[in-house]
Amino acid sequence: MNYLRTGMLLAGLTALFLSVGYMLGGEGGMLIALAIALGMNAFAYWNSDKMVLRMHGAREVDSATAPELHGIVADLARRADLPMPRVYLMENDQPNAFATGRNPENAAVAATTGLLRRLSREEVAGVMAHELAHVRNRDTLIMTITATIAGAIGMLANFALFFGGNRNNPLGIIGTILIMILAPLAAGLVQMAISRAREYEADRIGAEICGQPQWLASALAKIDQAAQAIDNPAAEDNPATAHMFIINPLHAHKVDNLFSTHPNTGNRIARLRAMAADRPESTGPWAADAKPSGSERAGGPWGG
C-alpha cells in the first residue's frame, strides 16, 4: 500500500508540475525549468552522500575502530541480502541516524555517538535495520526524483515572480499570482507526504530484517524523547537534511500533520507493537548477550 501511495503522490506531483508549466510559461518555459532542475538534482544524486556526510562531520569506521557497530551492520546487511554499506559515526550527543547513497552498491549508514551511548545493543540493531530498509527500498532514489520535480515547480514559480509568467493562461494574472504562492507549497506538502510514507515502510521492513519489531519501537521512543531535549547543531545548520534522519532532529513536528517530514512517533511505535503482537517471540543474532532494554552507557566497545 505504501508503494502504491508513493506512486500516486509522484504522479500527482508530476501532474502539478505540468499544470504549473502550462499556466506560467507554456511548453517552452516548462521544458527549460525542468532541464535546469534535472541538472541540479543529477549533480546532487551523484554527490549528495559525500555532501551530507561532510555536513554532519561523519567519519568512516570499520571493524577495527568500531567493531560492535560495524559487526551489527554487517550481520543485518547479510540478513537483508544487501552489500555491506560504509559505516560512519557522527560526534553528536543527540541519538539519531540516517542512510544515504544512490543505490545499495554505493550506500552508507551513519549513527551519532549519542545513539550508541543511550541505546541498548538491541535498539541500535533496530535502528540500523531501519536504515538498511531505506537502502533496500532505494528511498534515496525516490526522494531524489521527488526533489527534482518539486525543484522544477519552485523554479517555475520563481520564473513567474521575475518575468510575470504567462498572462494569457485561463485564469489570467490572478492565476499567475495564485500559482506563484500555492504551487511550491503544494509541491512541498507532497514531498513531505512521500517522505512520511517511506518512513513507515522502512519501519516495517527494518523490523523484518532484525526480526524484532520491539527493538525498533523501543529505540524510536528513546530517540524521540532525547531529540526534543538535545540539540543537533549540524542539522540545525542544514535543515534540508532533516528528513533523512530516523527521527526529526530539529525539535519540532510533535504531531502527524501535513507540515512534518516524519510520521508521528507514537503512530510508528503502535504499528511496530502491532507487528510484534502478530508474530511469535524470535531471537536475533545479538539477543544472547544484549544489554537489557533501557540501558545507557558512556563508552564501551562501540568505537565512539
Q: Where are the domains of the chain?
A: 2-280
Query: Strands 59-61, 108-112: parallel, antiparallel or unpaired by DSSP?
Result: unpaired
Strand partners, 18: none
- Grid coordinates of 24: 506560467
Contact between residue 54 and residue 288 where contact means Cβ atoms under 8 Å apart: no
Q: What is the pLDDT along the chain (304 residues), one digit of tens a residue?
A: 456 766 777 777 777 777 777 676 667 766 776 777 677 767 777 887 888 899 999 999 999 999 999 999 999 999 999 999 999 999 999 999 999 988 999 999 999 999 999 999 999 999 999 999 999 998 877 776 776 677 677 777 776 666 555 556 565 566 666 667 777 777 777 777 777 888 999 999 999 999 999 999 999 999 999 998 999 999 888 877 888 899 999 875 444 455 567 889 999 999 999 999 887 655 445 443 434 333 344 344 344 4
Instruction: From 97, 129, 90, 135, select the one nearest 113 (Cα to Cα).
Output: 90
Contact between residue 169 and residue 24 where contact means Cβ atoms under 8 Å apart: yes
pLDDT at position 143: 72
Whole-prediction pTM value? 0.78
Distances (CA, A) of 206 to 88, 99, 134, 272, 301: 19, 13, 8, 10, 24
Distance, in Å, from the CA atom of 188 to the CA atom of 117, rounded to the nearest integer, reads 35
Distances (CA, A) of 250 to 94, 201, 226, 244, 246: 10, 22, 11, 12, 12
- With b meaning 16 or more CB within 10 Å and e meaning fewer, what string describes 251-271? eebeeeeeebbbbbbeebbeb
Q: Is 91 a catalytic residue?
A: no
pLDDT at position 65: 96
Instruction: From 194, 263, 201, 156, select the one nearest 12 (Cα to Cα).
Output: 194
pLDDT at position 214: 96
Distances (CA, A) of 251 to 124, 184, 241, 246, 258: 21, 24, 14, 13, 17
Q: Which of 122, 123, 131, 201 is catalytic?
A: 131
The three-state secondary structure class of 286 is coil
